[in-house]
Structure 1
Amino acid sequence: MEIFLQQLINSLSVASVTILIGMGITLIFGLAGIVNFAQGEFLMVGGMITWALVMAGVNFFVAMVVAMLAVGLLGLTAERTLFRFTLTRPMNGFIMSIGLSVILQNVVIRTLNEVQKSITPPVTAVWTVGGVDIIAMRAIVVAITAVVVAVTYFGISRSRYGVALRASVADQDTAALMGIPVKRYVTGVFVYGSVLAGLGGALMIALFPITPFTGSVIIIRGFAVSLIGGLGNVGGAVVGGLILGLVDALAAQYGFPQWTDAYSLIVMIVILILRPQGLLGGTMGPRAT
């Protein structure tokens, strides 16, 4: 049991990064109807920026904030110059996001080469609780993710901005007639989703080495998380991430660890067959006009 708990705790930190990217995917889809395949590369860029700053002597947590802002700016640029013109044609936006992911990947390869990058974790303490070793940095990653999830959830469910956002998702035409600047909200959500990806990248490189191809791997898990919980449902992204974390722990302890991603995809397929809208139900992804 102690070994299983150890694996579960370790998997939660990985699940936290997946939840962050899944939340970005589901928020952007929920309002704009854009399936942003470049979200994984946004995460990778955030990790690379964090690595470069830490190597230059910048404090990790300062580098994390800078990476979030930089990737947010990247998201703003992408939304304004690319995705804004595809809101009425989601398939075009999806294809464009694939092209953007390839471009970002190659820019990083040409700039930093294909060698994996890693940093020394900013916090190296290990806590032992009931015979289970808890790596402090992994606990910090989980804690930061929990705070971000709580802020996002209450921001959407309780704030005036969140009420207007949910109204825009429900009926954009009526929301616009009520004076809600729908396109501005689309931009805001896209930028916020990008910031979450930048945060995910910074936290990921504090745990594992990353390469220019990391985004292509993590995006699959990000979509799995979103689809399991319900594409367009923030709470669903959290539930989906926790389920995949449990699957990872079970695979590491009782199955074949090298098949972890396959197990996760099998779980996603089974859930979608039984409940196509996801466990908590998703949105239809309305489009701004």
Structure 2
Amino acid sequence: MQIAISVGIDAALITFSLALAAFGLAIIYGLVGVINLGHGAMLTLGAYLSWYAVDSGAPFFAAVLFAAVGVGLIGVVFEHLVIRHFYHRPFDTLLLTWGFFLVSTEAIKIVFGTSFRNVPSPFPSAIHTSFYDFPAYKTFVAGVTIVLLLATAFVLLKTSIGIKIRALIQNREMASLLGLNIAATYKMVFGFGCAMAGLAGALLAPMLSIDPYIGNVFLIRSFFVVIVGGIGQILGGTLLGSFFIGGSETILALVSSQVVAQVAVFFIAILILRFRPQGLLGEK
């Protein structure tokens, strides 16, 4: 029983960590249709900006905010200068965001070097209970992920901004005829998605050793999360896809090696997409 509880909690914590990493990609891909191959580089930028702020003496949470805002501003500038001209050409945005990844990775190497960096955890201890000791920082990250998902759900479903965004998704031409500023809405969504990628990189940094390719660890998994969960299903799809990719991998690793578990999960994900291309929660 203790083993089952431990595995279940580990799977849940990994699910929320992966959901946090994939959230920015889900927003940009699901709402504006851009396949953002620069997502991994934005995670990496968030991690490095948080390390730089902490190393300069800033408190951890101020560093996280600095990283989110910094990557968000970079995303807004990138969207304004490049992406906004190619929204109707998805293959071109694919290549452009891949180019952003390559340029950003080399810039990170030039500015920060290639040696490993570390961000101290603000909660290094555990939360002790009668049946399990929860890792404090991973539990905090899970809580932040839940709050972000609920806040985004509230904005999309209960606010005028959310109504405008949903109108844009359903019918771009009609939304434009009704007076919605398409360019500004796209810019806002793209910038927010980039900020969430930077926030994820900053919050995940204490769990990992930071190097110029740290975002690559999450890029492929984030794509599987978004596609398996269902494109456009930003909330439920992200959580379900994260559990399938991250949680299932944790469970399968009990009876096999980590590598075999990863291969098995990705193989099953490919089978799901073969027979249900719209994802688990996506509409036909």
Q: How does 1:113-192 map to 2 (within 5 A)?
A: 113-192=113-192
Maintained 8 Å contact 1:233/1:282:
no
Maintained 8 Å contact 2:229/2:238:
yes
Q: For each residue in 1:53-84, what CA deviation from the matched residue of structure 2 results, as whole angstroms up to 9, or x when unmatched?
A: 11222111110011000010011011011111
Task: Report the CA distance shift for 1:146/1:135 in structure 2 as closer, same or farther (over 3 A).
Answer: same
When structure 1 is superposed on structure 2, of 68-77 and 274-283 the one drifting more is: 274-283
Work out the CA distance in 2 between the residues paired with 1:83 and 1:100.
Answer: 11
RMSD: 1.7
Q: Is residue 2:273 matched to residue 1:265?
A: no
Q: For each residue in 1:145-169, what CA deviation from the matched residue of structure 2 results, as whole angstroms up to 9, or x when unmatched?
A: 1000100112111211111111110
Q: How does 1:16-35 map to 2 (within 5 A)?
A: 16-35=16-35
Q: Is residue 2:80 matched to residue 1:77?
A: no
- What is the letter of the counterpart of residue 247 of structure 1? S
- What is the letter of the counterpart of residue 208 of structure 1? L
Structure 1, unpaired ranges of 5+: 284-289
Work out the CA distance in 1 between the residues paired with 2:102 and 2:91.
Answer: 17
Work out the CA distance in 1 between the residues paired with 2:95 and 2:130.
Answer: 50
Maintained 8 Å contact 2:25/2:197:
no
The answer for the alignment partner of 1:44 in structure 2 is 44
How far the C-alpha of 1:199 sits from its partner, in A, is 1.0
When structure 1 is superposed on structure 2, of 201-210 and 92-101 the one drifting more is: 201-210
- What is the letter of the counterpart of residue 270 of structure 1? L
How far the C-alpha of 1:209 sits from its partner, in A, is 1.4
Work out the CA distance in 1 between the residues paired with 2:9 and 2:25.
Answer: 25
The answer for the alignment partner of 1:246 in structure 2 is 247
Work out the CA distance in 1 between the residues paired with 2:43 and 2:206.
Answer: 13
Q: For each residue in 1:157-189, what CA deviation from the matched residue of structure 2 results, as whole angstroms up to 9, or x when unmatched?
A: 121111111111000000011111112111111
Q: Count matched residues.
A: 283
Work out the CA distance in 1 between the residues paired with 2:27 and 2:113.
Answer: 32
Work out the CA distance in 2 between the residues paired with 1:251 and 1:236.
Answer: 21
When structure 1 is superposed on structure 2, of 99-108 and 110-119 the one drifting more is: 110-119
Maintained 8 Å contact 1:28/1:190:
yes
How far the C-alpha of 1:104 sits from its partner, in A, is 0.6
- What is the letter of the counterpart of residue 140 of structure 1? F
Q: TM-score, normalised by structure 1?
A: 0.92
Work out the CA distance in 2 between the residues paired with 1:64 and 1:193.
Answer: 15
- What is the letter of the counterpart of residue 144 of structure 1? V
The answer for the alignment partner of 1:280 in structure 2 is 281
Structure 2, unpaired ranges of 5+: none
Work out the CA distance in 2 between the residues paired with 1:59 and 1:282.
Answer: 44
How far the C-alpha of 1:130 sits from its partner, in A, is 4.2
Other structure's SS at 2:134 match: strand
- What is the letter of the counterpart of residue 139 of structure 1? T
**Runs of 4+ residues deviating >6 angstroms:** none
Maintained 8 Å contact 2:11/2:251:
no
Q: Percent of counterpart pairs with the same letter?
A: 28
Work out the CA distance in 1 between the residues paired with 2:143 and 2:88.
Answer: 38
- What is the letter of the counterpart of residue 66 of structure 2? V
Q: For each residue in 1:102-155, what CA deviation from the matched residue of structure 2 results, as whole angstroms up to 9, or x when unmatched?
A: 111111112222222212211122123344221110100000010001001121
Other structure's SS at 2:128 match: strand
How far the C-alpha of 1:85 sits from its partner, in A, is 1.2
